[in-house]
Amino acid sequence: MLLKDSIEQAFGYDAEERIFHFLVKDELSDCGGDTARWLRLFEKCETWRKQFLLWENGTYINGVHGWNLEINICSFRPPMGELENRTKYFYCMTLLMVVNRMGIGERSTLAEFGDKNNNFSAVISDYYGNEGYLELTPEQWLEEIAYLLKQSWEGYQKFSGKNPAYHREMEINYPKFQDILDYLSRQSISGNVVRMNRHGGDDTVWYFAEASDCFYIMQLSDSM
C-alpha cells in the first residue's frame, strides 16, 4: 500500500475522534479516569521513545499566519514488533511527538487535574482538521518548508516589537530552523512525502516520509 493510502486510512477526516477512540477504548481501556489516562500515556510515550526514537529536533520562529511557527521533527525506527501495524504505529509516534511538546509542568498539571476537569481530550488538539492529504516529492517538501522560513524571516525583519529576549531567541532559532532543513536535504527519502492538512489555518500540519532505514514525522504549528 502506498504511504498516502496508509496515512489516509489511518487518520481519515476525523483524526481527532479516531485517536481519542484508540486511546480510551484500546490503548488505555483499563484506566478509570483522565488522571490515570494521562499518567499511563506518559509511561507509554517513554517506552515508545526508548524503542523507536532515533533523532529529534525542533524550534520556533516568527509566525507566518499566527504568532509563532513551530517545527518539530523526529526520525523513528520503522514499524516493528507490537507496532508492526502501520495505523497503530502512526498513532503512537504522533502521540509521542504531541507529548514531547509538553513541558514537565504542563504534564503534571494535566495529570493532577485530569479527573476534576475531564481534560484528557486535550491530547487530540493537534489532530484537528480535515483539509485532506497531499503527496509531495522530497524536494517539494523541503521547498515548502523553506518558503515558510523565507516568509517568516521577511515578516520578522519588519517586526517592530522591542523585546530583547525575543530577539535573542530568534538569533538562535532561525539558524536552527535552517539546520533542520539542511539535515533533511542530506537524507535519503524513498518515495513521496505525505502532508496531512494544509498551511494557512489553525490546524497542525503533519508530514510523513519514509527513508531507507527510518521513518520521519514532522509537525508544524502556526496558529494564533
Q: Give the pLDDT of the chain (224 residues) as one tens digit per residue.
A: 789 999 999 999 999 999 999 999 999 999 999 999 999 999 999 999 999 999 999 999 999 988 899 999 999 999 887 767 999 999 999 999 999 999 999 999 999 999 999 999 999 989 877 779 999 999 999 999 999 999 999 999 987 678 899 999 999 999 999 999 999 999 988 889 999 998 877 789 999 999 989 999 999 998 65
The per-residue DSSP string of 96-121 comes to HHHHHTS-HHHHHHHHHTHHHHT-GG
Is 70 strand, coil or helix?
strand
pLDDT at 122: 94
Q: How many residues does the chain have?
A: 224
Q: What are phi and psi of 96, to 5 degrees?
A: -60, -40
pLDDT at 130: 72
Is 196 strand, coil or helix?
strand
Q: Are 195 and 133 contacting, i.e. CB atoms less than 8 angstroms apart?
A: yes
What angle do helix axes 104-112 and 34-52 make, rounded to 10 degrees? 150
pLDDT at 39: 97
pTM of the predicted protein model: 0.94
